[in-house]
Amino acid sequence: MVKIFIDGEAGTTGLQIRERLADLGSVEVISIDHHARKDADARKDMMREADLTILCLPDDAAREAVAIADELDKDAPKIIDASTAHRTAAGWVYGFPELAPAQKDIIAKAERVANPGCYATGAIALLRPLIEGRLAAPSNPFTINAVSGYTGGGKTMIASYETGQEPNFVLYGLALNHKHIPEITMHSGLTQKPVFVPSVGAFPQGMIVCVPLQLTALENPPTLTALNELFSDYYSTSKSVVYHSIAEQAAYSDQRLSVDPAKDNDTMEIWVFGNSADQQAVLVARLDNLGKGAAGAAVQNLKLMLDLS
């Protein structure tokens, strides 16, 4: 049995992780007494006992937790940080196994892994193949549009929506400085900060991320067929990211794509839709903001780091 300590297990992501770990017979989740959850010495004792600690905390608290772990030196556990704090930090491995062919092995050998943001997971999955495949320059001015279920906003937002205090749809981050932009820029391989417009809808779970493309504006303008081949090859060996080819798109003849199937799903789906005559395309990722966008990704990384099936 391997021991897992979830620092912040009462939060939305922590609860979702614990639920998933209950299905793993080789894992024991150890919990801190509720009244000691902010006691540094008690947290240090839990970390000392754990093989791996998952941080489900605000950014500053996550940094504080890492400082506590550092005091343990060789007794420190492996760490997965689900906050924003270390996603672009030196010495941390980015926990998106599908990022590149070698990323799974890098995560498996890592001591400290930063879990990706939910929006970032979808955006990077769409942008990184374009840069790696040299169909677009890193300096290309990309635009990203996305909508998420309200559970991504934490307990306060969840309570606000579930008591009917929020509108059906809200654009936000209109100062264009959303906290996921640095990791999207870095891990997509971009040199130009993208324009990212996130939004929240009045549904609990699920997320759709879109990148619209004027194909003629790209460095090496691809056809829709070339885009299809690129994404099909990039995710051909992945079980957690599924690419739906052009041949499968007959199922979307009504030109609509619902967010509903993403709920309670740890798989991310990707499509390339387009208009060949106008040389336009839209890249689409659909995922559960609490699944592949948070808890599902953390458990995927945990399995790699601890060599669990």
Which positions are annotated as active-site residues?
Answer: 118
Do residues 227 and 234 make contact, with C-beta atoms less than 8 angstroms apart? no
Strand residues in the chain grouped as ranges (E):
2-7, 27-30, 52-55, 78-81, 93-94, 112-114, 143-149, 169-171, 195-201, 207-214, 241-244, 268-275, 280-287
Beta bridge mates, 112:
79
Based on C-alpha coordinates, what's the Rg of the chain? 20
- B/e letters for 134-165, b = 16+ CB within 10 Å, e = fewer, are ebbeeebebebbbbbbbbbbeeebbeebeeee
The alpha carbon dihedral of 9, 13, 16, 22 has a sign of: negative
